A and B are shown apart, each in its own frame.
Chain A
Amino acid sequence: NAGVTQTPKFRILKIGQSMTLQCAQDMNHNYMYWYRQDPGMGLKLIYYSVGAGITDKGEVPNGYNVSRSTTEDFPLRLELAAPSQTSVYFCASSYSALGPFNSPLHFGNGTRLTVT
């Protein structure tokens, strides 16, 4: 198993541009998450999904959109990039029959995004 795969690894955007961060998992996990990690701020939850077709907002959803058309894929869309979105983005997944928050998270290696 490849686990959680994120692409691209690095990206530089200009203000106002848009892009999609890709995330795929091959572990048949039902739950998927997007986090951002900023220095001195820890990780913050952007969006999460409990299954195909179901998504919900996390702590910091503004400026982002997600979709979950399949169990495997959970792309994160930035529509109008702003400098405040400069960060490292991590996708994660988990599986639990007891609910989305009761099992260890598996993380991808991250996408380092710079908006200038």
Chain B
Amino acid sequence: KQEVTQIPAALSVPEGENLVLNCSFTDSAIYNLQWFRQDPGKGLTSLLLIQSSQREQTSGRLNASLDKSSGRSTLYIAASQPGDSATYLCAVRQETSGSRLTFGEGTQLTVNP
């Protein structure tokens, strides 16, 4: 059974700092991995999707990497801003059960001005 773990559960940083969020998964037979952000009382917003054949994806100040063999992904946020404060979730899709998207519990990020 796939398990997705995100560490740390909460992170507080000063504005301008570069930071890394971690996501690990137990079954490396994945189809793809997505990073989402969730603002309080809102739905999830897809940030980046990495296919299993890819090593990384970039969007603006965000860079996500994937090491499928070791079961790890990182989300790098450059020059953090208060508007980046949110909960960040990663989710993996299995090769064998494509409909199932297994989510981590998220990292709650606070960027202090």
Contacts and interface: CB of A to CB of B under 8 A. Distances in A.
Interface of A: 4, 40-43, 45, 48, 56, 58-59, 90, 92, 99-110
Contacts of A41: 105
Contacts of B26: none
Interface of B is mostly: strand
Contacts of A101: 31-32, 93, 98-99, 101
B49 A104 contact: yes
Given A105-B36, A109-B43, 14 more contacts: A4-B43, A43-B89, A45-B99, A45-B100, A45-B101, A48-B99, A56-B99, A58-B99, A92-B43, A103-B49, A105-B44, A107-B45, A110-B41, A110-B43
Contact of B98 (A99, A103, A104, A108): A99
Given A58-B99, A101-B93, A101-B99, A106 B104 contact: no
B62 to A, nearest CB: 13
A58 B100 contact: yes
Interface string B62-105: 00000000000000000000000000010101000011111111
B34 interface: yes
B99 A42 contact: no
B61 interface: no
B58 interface: no
Nearest to B91: A43
Nearest to B42: A109
A58 B105 CA distance: 19
B4 interface: yes
Interface-central residue, B44, B45, B105, B106, by most chain A CB under 10 Å? B44
Given A42-B4, A104-B49, A109 B101 contact: no
Interface in B21-51: 31-32, 34, 36, 41-46, 49, 51
A100 B100 CA distance: 11
